[in-house]
Structure 1
Amino acid sequence: MSVTIQVTFDAHDPAALGEFWAFALGYDKDAPPAGFPTWEDALDHFGVPQDERNNAFAVHDPDGVGPRLFFQRVPEPKVAKNRVHLDLRAAPGLEGDDRMHALEARAGELVGRGATRVRLVPPDALNKGFIVMHDPEGNEFCLD
C-alpha cells in the first residue's frame, strides 16, 4: 500500500517562502480550520501570540495530485547544499529551443518573485537542458 507524502521546508519566514512556492507550483494556501473565516481569527481564538503566528505555513495542490508543502520556522540558517531538491517540470513535452524558451520564461517569472538563477545546463546528448535556481531562502530547485 502506498502512502501520501508531505514535503517540509525549514524556513526563516514560513509565510513568505510558502507564498513563493504556492506561486511556483500553482498551489493554494491551506484554509483556516473549520468554523473560522480567516487564519487570524483562528489564531486569535487559540491564543497564539503575534510573534508566533508565522511559525508554520502550508500549501497544497488544488487538484489533489502533488504533495502538500509545509514550511516551519527554524532559528538556524541554511548552510549546505540540499540533499533533496524539487524539479519543477516547467516545459512538459517541449524540446530544443521551444523547451529552453519556456524554461527561461518561467525562470524570469520566479526571479520576479524572489528566486535566484544559479546556472543553465544546456541540452546535450544526455539531457534536454534545465535551469538550476534557488528559492528566496537559498533552497536549490531545478526548472526541468
Structure 2
Amino acid sequence: MDVQITFDCADPAGLAEFWAEALGYRVQGPPPGFESWEQALEAWGVPPERRNDASAAIDPEGAGPRLFFQRVPEPKRAKNRVHLDVRAAPGLEGEARMAALEDAAARLVARGATRLERHEPAPPMGFGHIVMTDPEGNESCLD
C-alpha cells in the first residue's frame, strides 16, 4: 500500500518546490507525451487561473511518500494536528547534531521557511530539535 500526504495550501507549485528541496525530493514531472506541465494543462484546456490548483513532490528513489499540494480558498487557521519531522541529522549526537540542524534550518529559511524555536538536548531522550514552519505556516520539526 502506498501513502500520499496531502497539504491544503494557497500556492501548490511553491510548496511543492519548497518541500522537494527540504526533503531531497523532486517536483513530479508532467505525464508522458508532454515536455512540461504548462504544455499538458494547455492541451487539456485548463484556464491559466487554474493551472496552480495542484502540484506534487516525489522521492526520486521511490521509497518515500508522494506529497500532494492542493489549492484551497481558506487560509491556515490553527496549529497542525499532524506535521512532518525532517530527519536532518541522522546518526549525529550532541553539538554535531545541533550544528547539522542549524545548517538545515538556515537552508530552509533561505527558501521561505520560518524558524520558531530550538529545543536543546535534554535527558532522558537527549535529542534536540528545531521547530519550523514552511512558507505557508505549516509546522514541521528538524530532528
Show the counterpart of 1:131: 130
| Corresponding position of 2:85 | 87
The residue identity in structure 2 corresponding to 1:4 is D
Q: 1:6 and 2:7 equivalent?
A: no
- 3-state DSSP of counterpart to 1:83: coil
1:32 equivalent in structure 2: 30
1:79 and 1:27 map into 2 onto residues whose CA distance is 27
- Rounded to whole Å, the distance in 2 between the matches of 1:50 and 1:63 is 32
Structure 1 moving runs of 4+ over 6 Å? none
Give the 5 Å matches for 1:8-87: 8-87=6-85
Is the counterpart of residue 140 in structure 1 residue 139 in structure 2? Answer: yes
Structure 1: runs of 5+ lacking an equivalent? none
Secondary structure of the residue that 2:39 maps to in structure 1?
helix
CA distance in 1, matches of 2:140, 2:66: 17
- RMSD after superposition: 0.6
1:18 counterpart SS class: helix
State how far apart, in whole Å, the 2-side matches of 1:16 and 1:38 are: 16
Q: Give the SS at the match of 2:42.
A: helix
- Corresponding residue number in structure 2 for 1:110: 108
> What is the TM-score with the length of structure 2 in the denominator?
0.98
- TM-score normalized by the length of structure 1: 0.97
Gaps of 5+ in 2: none
Q: What's the counterpart of residue 120 of structure 1?
A: 118
SS at match of 1:15: helix
> Counterparts of 1:76 and 1:106 in 2: how far apart (Å)?
30
Provide the residue aligned with 1:98 in structure 2: 96
Give the deviation of 1:33 after TM superposition.
1.0
The amino acid of 1:20's aligned partner reads F
